């Protein structure tokens, strides 16, 4: 499968990895929208939120456990941050591998 985030998870293409465990990998966004902009993904391919089901949903809790650790590591747990997962065309999803953006390090816009 020609999926760029699967390639990152498999270390076939380089990325700035900030966290990794058995199920989850997190790396810096190539085009950061905030001082801290990290993408957290399942190592297994799931295309989007639409594809989460009772078989694979355990990884979503693993992702949020990872987010909890990453925000402490990045020193934004107290100042605050936003977690976003874009889905589909109207959600402006450009990479079809489930991912959660962590955005922080500055006061974010209240509007979208
Ligand atoms: P989305 O629009 O929610 O699908 O977000 C995809 C994100 O992936 C964008 O913020 C891109 O900047 C980011 N991105 C795309 N390719 C890479 C890459 N090779 N390494 C890191 N981030 C990437
Ligand atoms: Zn993938």
CB-based contacts of 61, cutoff 8 Å, min separation 6: none
Rounded to the nearest 10°, the torsion over CA 98, 62, 17, 69 is 130
Separation of alpha carbons 101 and 85, rounded Å = 6
Q: Tell me what pLDDT residue 93 has.
A: 98
Residue 112 in domain: no
CATH code, 28 = 3.30.428.10
Query: Using an 8 Å Cβ cutoff, are 101 and 9 in contact?
Result: no
Task: Name the catalytic one among 37, 45, 97, 99.
Answer: 99
Residue 27 in domain: yes
Centre of ligand 1 to C-alpha 94, Å, is 7
pTM, two decimals, is 0.98
Q: Sorting pLDDT into bands at 50, 70 and 90, what band is 112?
A: confident
- Ligand 1: residues with CB < 6 A are 4, 15, 27, 29-31, 39, 86, 92-95
Separation of alpha carbons 109 and 101, rounded Å = 15
Residue 109 in domain: no
Q: Tell me what pLDDT residue 106 has.
A: 98
Centre of ligand 2 to C-alpha 63, Å, is 15
Residue-number span of the structural domain to which 12 is assigned: 4-104
Residue 98 in domain: yes
Query: Using an 8 Å Cβ cutoff, are 5 and 13 in contact?
Result: no
Task: Give the nearest ligand 1 atom to 13 CA.
Answer: 19
Instruction: Give the model confidence (pLDDT) of 54-85 as tens digits.
Output: 999 999 999 999 999 999 999 999 999 999 99
Look at the chain and report how many structural domains it folds into. Answer: 1
């Amino acid at each position: 499968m020609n999926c760029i985030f699967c390639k990152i998870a498999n270390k076939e293409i380089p990325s700035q990895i900030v966290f990794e465990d058995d199920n989850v990998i997190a790396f810096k966004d190539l085009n950061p929208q905030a001082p801290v902009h990290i993408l957290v993904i399942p190592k297994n391919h799931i295309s989007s939120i639409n594809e989460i089901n009772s078989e694979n949903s355990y990884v979503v809790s693993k992702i949020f456990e990872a987010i909890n650790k990453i925000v402490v590591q990045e020193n934004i747990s107290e100042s605050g941050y936003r977690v976003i997962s874009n889905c589909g065309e109207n959600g402006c999803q450009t990479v079809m591998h489930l991912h959660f953006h962590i955005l922080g390090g500055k006061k974010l816009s209240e509007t979208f």
